[in-house]
Amino acid sequence: MTTVASAQTLTDELAKRTGVSPEQVTALLANCDANRNSMKLCAWRDELAAERTLSRLIDEKRAASPKCGAVLEQKVAAWQRRRDETCRQSAQRQWTDGSMQSAALAMCTTDRTKQMMQTLSSNSCP
């Protein structure tokens, strides 16, 4: 998948999730620091992109070794539950019920997902 196609798919997915038109999503993503909506969409875009990259990495590992892929899938699923809970608690502490809580949650999960991708990339099989 090309970068342009990937960006378009992310834009379409964000539009579907938010109820905002793809054109509006593209405009909001053009300047992530413009306002809260832009910041949130950029955080969600980065989270979605990281999740997709992690999924592709797992698929590659599974293709190379089905046994490894099955074990990896279980370990990553457990890790994702821990990551989600840890990030939810962190965002709650930072923002209580503030308008940027969802962005903080997305940024946390993105960072943790990137860390997991590095770990998986450097290991042959868990």
Q: Model pTM?
A: 0.85
* pLDDT at residue number 70: 84
pLDDT in tens, 61-74: 888 888 888 888 89
Q: Quick check: is 35 in a domain?
A: yes
Tokens of 76: 């990553």
Q: Report how far residue 46's alpha carbon sits from residue 109's, in angstroms, rounded to the nearest whole number.
A: 9
Q: Quick check: is 52 in a domain?
A: yes
What residues have CB less than 8 Å from 50, skipping those under 6 apart? Answer: 109, 110, 113, 114, 117
* Structural domain that includes position 93: 9-114
Q: How many domains does the chain have?
A: 1
Q: Quick check: is 1 in a domain?
A: no
Q: Quick check: is 126 in a domain?
A: no
Q: Quick check: is 81 in a domain?
A: yes
